[in-house]
Amino acid sequence: MTFLPVILWSDVLIWLLVLAAIVLGVLSSRNPPLRAAWQRVGRSRPGMAAATVLMAFVLVGLLDSLHYRPRLESREAGQPVAYSVEVLSLLDAMVTPLRTRSEKTYSQPLATRAYTKEAFDVRDADGSLRQVRDFPRLKFGGAHLGDDEARRDDDIVKRVLAAEALACAILAGIALGGSYLLARRHACSARQIWSALWRGELSVAWHAVLATLGLLLLLLMPLAVLSVDYHVFGTDKVGQDVLYQILKSVRTALVIGLVTTLVMLPLSILLGILAGYFRGWVDDLIQYLYTTLSSIPGVLLIAAAVLMMQVIIDTHPQWFATAAERADLRLLALCFILGVTSWTGLCRLLRGETLKLRELEYIQAAQAFGVSDLRIILRHILPNLMHIVIIALVMDFSSLVLAEAVLSYVGIGVDPTMISFGTMINNARMEMAREPMVWWSLAAAFVFMFTLVLAANLLADAVRDAFDPRLAGSS
Amino acid sequence: MSQDSQSILSVRGLRMGFASGYAHTRQVLAAVDGIDFAVHAGETLALLGESGCGKSATALSLLRLLPAAGRILGGEVCFDGRDLLQLPESEMRTVRGGGMAMIFQEPATSLNPVMTVGRQIGEVLERHLDLTGAATRQRALELLDAVGIADAQRRLDEFPFQLSGGMKQRVMIAVALAGHPKLLIADEPTTALDVTIQAQILDLLRRLQAERGMGMLLITHDLGVVAQMAHRVGVMYAGEIVEEAPRNAFFASPRHPYSQKLFAALPDLARRGGRLETIAGQVPSLAAMPTGCRFAERCPHAWERCRDESPGWHEAGESHRVRCHLMAEPGRAVAPVPRPVTLVIPLVDPRPALLAVRDLAVHFPIRRGVLQLTVGQVRAVDGVSLDLVRGRTLALVGESGCGKTTVGKAILQLVKPTAGRIELEERELNGLSRAELRPLRRRMQMIFQDPFASLNPRLSVGEIIGEGMSALGVNTQSAGRNDAVVALLQEVGLDPAAAGRYPHEFSGGQRQRIAIARALAVQPELIICDEPTSALDVSVQAQILNLLKALQDDLGLAYLFITHNFAVVDYLAHEVAVMYLGRIVERGLVDEVLRSPRHPYTQALLSAVPSPRLDAQPECIRLAGEMPSPANPPAGCHFHPRCPQASALCRASYPETSRLTATHAVRCHLFGSAEQNK
């Protein structure tokens, strides 16, 4: 084998989540009210556009969640097979040029020369060495231009135009292929499907999906084409490509946003329902627990937990074969502690809703049949709480992504070796202060995080509108 | 009311609708479709109809207070010589409250809970009469006096939660009157109130209208209220007015088949033993309005013309108009099939009681303070004894808050009784564990009041009906259970295909049938019906009552029928028990209690029920005040503060049960010891 698969704990959880999403999808397709709600999401134009953007992020995140260690070229025959200590992901393999082509230090987006002057020796025509202080030529940025750096602008324009043409072609392909499939499913001509699609008469807002896909392709295709020979978002202090950092940050954000809910949901659902359904001392105990927990400042609790975790990690180096595993454990610890501190809000909501539901007549009818409490909770209460859970889940996602950025900025977030939006912003903090200012790292991190969170929020809005029984059917 | 007097409101061809659907398919469905009426000064026009007929939509369009999806599609609303539909919004604000004012159905939600009563009245006074400071307060005081609120000075500074339901409705009326409106729109003003309070409020509205010469548009579904209040009646059906008549003409001879059906669907003694007239089907949905007469589908007389052509107005007498083709072709009328009426009034049943309740008490502790110490008891049920025989119906009657629902729940052990015995065929229920209770639960079930809250929206009808069977181990094989569900659905008159559908696809009446099927699924002997028809329209109520009666005849069920509606009692019950503040004050056979009530409370309650007939309105005994709180019942007889015949003895001790006949018992000092002393 040329590689050794590495399964990080966070990978397991991420793929479990994917599995859970598929199961949820199958289950809700069988349950008419849930299916109707998801169909309402499907009809919402902003919702579907946001979902498309999120899918792009999720795709990047999933590619980045298949890890392996490449085999080292053995120098001598007969030596046991050795694998690199560096853990790579499928995404790393796909964007190898971005990962490996590091410059010495800062360079501006699309630059061919470094951002700071350096002194270097130039051999004159007569053979004498002369010391020059100038912006050094980048090793990789625009290397294909050779000495003809003036050609850079032409080259960029040409590449952008070619990329846009390619994007249009791909878009047309998707549109034709998609409408062919839709036409087959609805058993009508492609022309009818087209007119229905543009007037938004289909059960899913495909026109919003298509428009978003088009926009994404038009924006991202030039980036992809240019990134082959340029650093499109520049490089950071150690010369690493900022685009690569952005791509790697996506997974961290998704893990923080999704895995945390795995910790949070069981706690808040279980305790919320127990408190609301049984009342009495159970309710008192759970209320006491969450009021106490939510009155401790969250950052303090997180800082204490993360620092403790760090000590444990540092004193047990033998647990980890690679640095990636160590960073991964710290990421999970962060997810766990974020989950433990943030379940209270949802728990309170669910308790209140359960209090209301348990007085409803269908619960009393079930009690009159002698149905057991567990069965009442599972059959009558939980399904009627699902809309709140789904809404809370989607809304929490964006706040958790933002929380990670803040915590990493404060220094109690993810492992410093792990690339995340938070660590990028934290590093950019120093660069903002220098003169001339290095702005691109922060700007790129900001734009991508903003897009991710905005898409999540828009989807959350659409989901809330579709699932909230008070709004359902009004629009 | 003479026709030539100046009309204050005249509506011509008013159409309003609701926008529905998504962007491209968005369309406006007409909920009110071209209605005309006029209201004169000092006159009450009643708009009568079932829910979903567009009555409230009409009222809201008059004030232009439409919900977000509402659109006015056309027509003219002339008020005070101006077309309201053309007025700019700023002028509309002077009309609302100043020109016309509205009273809403639910007094509990129509007052702002964080503002004092005085502020809420003052708000209107400042806006419409430009009053300020002390003048506002003075005027508000006068208004509260006018609506009959005692101790107005103190009430002015109280918040709505400190007032009872009846007082809140009085405050709402005071707010409505504050701007000296010429027209009062009352949208089901007494539907949420008890009969004794309803009688007070209706009296008040009548008096205020006479004093101020206001016009009144009364929206209601209750023929009894119409009989008491209206000068003229407009019957609405599916967005149209189908009949308009002066009250006397309307009650003497309703001409439209729909109006006739409304009368026929009312339960009363004359129809005891027989089946109630029902109106098949339901009001057509806005999206599927028929092109012809909108009532054709449900009309027994309908022929082709009705389905093709919408009928125009026909004169049926002096200012009596009907929209029905029958007026042009009276020969088409189908004679109603006379229904066999078998008056079966069984005597005292010698069989042992199926259910025997002795001295049942349910007290809820009132806890206060940090340590949650019990500082008092709400005596929701305080010593109730009942007997119920197989195949019989016992009606438990009383106003809201008297503890009748708690009795039902305590019998089913949904609420833990504090004391007393509940025996189901001589098997004591109190103190049994859940496991011991489970086999007994098969034998008694409950049907709830609100068919919209009593079915889990996330379960299919089949699952809902099957739940009891699986919980109690009836028909454990799934094939057998499916057959049983189908049989049950047919028994309650639903399509067997309904099993795979979900509750939201059904109307209120159909949902109540599903709830009945769910209760029947475990083959109970006793069903506790907690106001099963109070959330339903008259025609649907008749269907459900017929169903309950048929089931009783077929299966020999015993019903404990909890209700506040005497007409239903009259139709369905064999015995009646009247509850007041947690205790039964009078019980006996239905004829004894309803025909010769002895307890002053029963007498007042019966006389307060508005009768849907003009001749039969007995003199109403008005009860002062409202039911006291069960947390702090009055000393002595609980009823003495409101009783017109209270004596010193009543204030001192609670009366013992006095037996008037073998079956008729009453707890009142007027009988018993007082009688013996004579």
Contact assignment for A364 to B468 by CB distance below 8 Å: no
Calpha distance B128→B96 (Å, rounded):
9
Rg, chain B, Cα only: 27
Please check whether residue B333 touches A, CB under 8 A. no
Q: Start-end ranges of CATH 1.10.3720.10 in chain A?
A: 3-66+236-467
Give the 3-state secondary structure of B527-554: EEEECCCCCCCHHHHHHHHHHHHHHHHH
Helix (H, G, I), strand (E, B) or coil at B374: strand
- For B609-653, the pLDDT digits (tens) are 887 777 666 677 778 777 888 888 888 888 988 888 888 888 888
Please check whether residue B29 touches A, CB under 8 A. no
- Nearest residue of chain A to residue B68 (CA atoms): A474
Please check whether residue B434 touches A, CB under 8 A. yes
User: Which stretch of A144-148, B464-468, B524-528 has the lowest confidence by average pLDDT?
Assistant: A144-148
The architecture of the domain spanning A3-66+236-467 is: Orthogonal Bundle (1.10)
Question: What does the pLDDT read at residue B269?
Answer: 59
Q: Name the band, by pLDDT with cuts 50, 70 and 90, for residue B570.
A: confident
Question: What does the pLDDT read at residue B21?
Answer: 63
Cβ-nearest to A365 among B454, B460, B504: B454
Chain A residues within 8 A of B438 when measuring between CB atoms: 370
Contact assignment for A201 to B24 by CB distance below 8 Å: yes
Question: What does the pLDDT read at residue B148?
Answer: 84
B357 CA: distance to closest CA in chain A (Å):
18
Question: What does the pLDDT read at residue B25?
Answer: 61
Cβ-nearest to B471 among A32, A199, A370: A370
Q: What is the DSSP letter of B60?
A: H
Q: Name the band, by pLDDT with cuts 50, 70 and 90, for residue A473.
A: very low
B216 and B226 Cβ atoms separated by less than 8 Å: no
Q: Name the band, by pLDDT with cuts 50, 70 and 90, for residue A474.
A: very low
Contact assignment for A364 to B459 by CB distance below 8 Å: no
Length of chain B equals 678
Residues facing B12 on adjacent strands: B76
Average of per-residue pLDDT across B110-131: 89
Q: Is the pLDDT of residue B412 over 50?
A: yes
Calpha distance B47→B356 (Å, rounded):
46
Which comes out higher in pLDDT, residue B316 or A347?
A347
Give the 3-state secondary structure of chain A: CCEEEECCHHHHHHHHHHHHHHHHHHHHHHCHHHHHHHHHHHHCHHHHHHHHHHHHHHHHHHHCCCEEEEECCCCCCCCCCCECCCCEEHHHHHCHHHHHCCCCCCECCCCCECCCCEEEEEECCCCCEEEEEECCECCCCCHHHCCCHHHHHHHHHHHHHHHHHHHHHHHHHHHHHHHHHHHHHHCCCHHHHHHHHHCCCCCCCHHHHHHHHHHHHHHHHHHHHHHCCCCCCCECCCCCEHHHHHHHHHHHHHHHHHHHHHHHHHHHHHHHHHHHHHCHHHHHHHHHHHHHHHHCCHHHHHHHHHHHHHHHHHHCHHHCCCHHHHHHHHHHHHHHHHHHHHHHHHHHHHHHHHHHHHCCHHHHHHHHCCCCHHHHHHHHHHHHHHHHHHHHHHHHHHHHHHHHHHHHHHCCCCCCCCCCHHHHHHHHHHHHHCCCCCCHHHHHHHHHHHHHHHHHHHHHHHHHHHHCCCCCCCC
Question: What does the pLDDT read at residue B339?
Answer: 57
A56 CA: distance to closest CA in chain B (Å):
28
Contact assignment for A361 to B450 by CB distance below 8 Å: yes
Which phi and psi (to 5°) does residue B405 adopt? Answer: -65, -35
Contact assignment for A201 to B438 by CB distance below 8 Å: no
Please check whether residue A475 touches B, CB under 8 A. yes
Structure tokens at A223: 């980036």
Q: Name the band, by pLDDT with cuts 50, 70 and 90, for residue A216.
A: very high
Whole-number percent of chain B with pLDDT over 70: 93
Could you tell me the CA-to-CA distances from B553 to A9, B86, B392, B565 in Å, in that order? Answer: 67, 60, 10, 22
Q: Is the pLDDT of residue B552 over 70?
A: yes
Average of per-residue pLDDT across B191-202: 84
Contact assignment for B502 to A32 by CB distance below 8 Å: yes
Average of per-residue pLDDT across A273-299: 91
Question: What does the pLDDT read at residue A161?
Answer: 93
Q: Is the pLDDT of residue B2 over 50?
A: no
Average of per-residue pLDDT across B341-346: 52
Contact assignment for B453 to A199 by CB distance below 8 Å: no
Between residues 456 and 515 of chain B, which touch chain A (CB distance below 8 Å)? Answer: 456-460, 464, 467-468, 471-472, 502, 504, 515
Contact assignment for B515 to A33 by CB distance below 8 Å: no
Q: Is the pLDDT of residue A151 over 90?
A: no
Average of per-residue pLDDT across B345-352: 58
Question: What does the pLDDT read at residue A376?
Answer: 92
Please check whether residue B69 touches A, CB under 8 A. yes
Average of per-residue pLDDT across B542-553: 88
Calpha distance B651→B644 (Å, rounded):
13
Question: What does the pLDDT read at residue A246?
Answer: 92
Contact assignment for A370 to B454 by CB distance below 8 Å: no
Question: What does the pLDDT read at residue B349?
Answer: 55
Please check whether residue B518 touches A, CB under 8 A. yes
Q: Which of B458, B465, B516, B527 has the most A C-beta neighbours within 10 Å, making it the best mutation to test the interface with A?
A: B458
Q: Counting one residue from A and one from B, how many pairs have CB atoms under 8 Å apart? A: 77
- For B299-318, the pLDDT digits (tens) are 888 888 888 888 888 888 88
Q: Is B425 exposed, middle or buried (0-12, 13-18, 19+ CB in 10 A)?
A: middle
Say what the ipTM of the complex is.
0.80
Helix (H, G, I), strand (E, B) or coil at B310: coil
Q: Is the pLDDT of residue B5 over 80?
A: no
Q: Name the band, by pLDDT with cuts 50, 70 and 90, for residue B368.
A: confident
Calpha distance A381→A352 (Å, rounded):
12
Please check whether residue B134 touches A, CB under 8 A. no
- For B577-618, the pLDDT digits (tens) are 999 988 999 999 988 888 888 899 998 888 888 877 776 666
- For B18-61, the pLDDT digits (tens) are 887 655 566 788 889 889 999 998 899 999 988 878 888 899 89
Contact assignment for A33 to B457 by CB distance below 8 Å: yes
Measured from the Cβ of residue A262, the count of other Cβ atoms closer than 10 Å reads 15
Measured from the Cβ of residue B456, the count of other Cβ atoms closer than 10 Å reads 24
Q: What domains can you pick out in chain B, each with its CATH number?
A: 7-99+179-281+289-332 (3.40.50.300), 355-443+524-677 (3.40.50.300)
Measured from the Cβ of residue B275, the count of other Cβ atoms closer than 10 Å reads 16
Contact assignment for A369 to B441 by CB distance below 8 Å: yes
B439 CA: distance to closest CA in chain A (Å):
9
Question: What does the pLDDT read at residue B577?
Answer: 94
Average of per-residue pLDDT across A399-405: 85
Q: Is B315 exposed, middle or buried (0-12, 13-18, 19+ CB in 10 A)?
A: exposed
Chain B residues within 8 A of A379 when measuring between CB atoms: 456, 459, 467
Which phi and psi (to 5°) does residue B203 adopt? Answer: -55, -45
Please, which contacts does B154-158 make with residues 24 or more away whose CB atoms are closer than 8 Å?
B155/B117, B156/B116, B156/B117, B156/B118, B156/B121, B157/B116, B157/B117, B157/B118, B158/B116, B158/B117
Calpha distance B11→B40 (Å, rounded):
12
Q: Which of A44, A287, A357, A361 has the most B C-beta neighbours within 10 Å, making it the best mutation to test the interface with B?
A: A361
Question: What does the pLDDT read at residue B337?
Answer: 63
Q: Which residue has the tokens 């009469």?
A: B129
Q: Is the pLDDT of residue B674 over 50?
A: no
Report the side by side order of strands in the sheet with B427-428: B373-388, B355-368, B419-424, B427-428
Question: What does the pLDDT read at residue B678?
Answer: 37
- For B489-502, the pLDDT digits (tens) are 988 888 888 888 88
Calpha distance B311→B323 (Å, rounded):
6
Q: What is the pTM of this model?
A: 0.80
Q: Is the pLDDT of residue B345 over 60?
A: no
Residues facing B529 on adjacent strands: B447, B561
Calpha distance B51→B59 (Å, rounded):
14
Helix (H, G, I), strand (E, B) or coil at B271: helix
Chain A residues within 8 A of B456 when measuring between CB atoms: 362, 379-380, 383-384
- For A249-274, the pLDDT digits (tens) are 999 999 998 888 888 989 999 999 99
Which phi and psi (to 5°) does residue B450 adopt? Answer: -100, 105
Question: What does the pLDDT read at residue B353?
Answer: 81
Question: What does the pLDDT read at residue A19?
Answer: 93
B283 CA: distance to closest CA in chain A (Å):
20
- The set of residues, in sequence order, having a beta carbon less than 8 Å from that of A22 and lying 6+ positions away, is none
- The set of residues, in sequence order, having a beta carbon less than 8 Å from that of A246 and lying 6+ positions away, is A233, A424, A444, A445, A448
Chain A residues within 8 A of B434 when measuring between CB atoms: 370
Question: What does the pLDDT read at residue B676?
Answer: 45
B194 CA: distance to closest CA in chain A (Å):
22
Question: What does the pLDDT read at residue A103?
Answer: 85
Q: Name the band, by pLDDT with cuts 50, 70 and 90, for residue A80.
A: confident
Which comes out higher in pLDDT, residue B237 or A121?
B237
- Nearest residue of chain A to residue B514 (CA atoms): A362
Q: Are strands B82-83 and B7-20 parallel, antiparallel or unpaired?
A: unpaired
Q: Is the pLDDT of residue A53 over 70?
A: yes
Question: What does the pLDDT read at residue B3?
Answer: 43
Q: Name the band, by pLDDT with cuts 50, 70 and 90, for residue A469.
A: low
Average of per-residue pLDDT across A196-209: 80
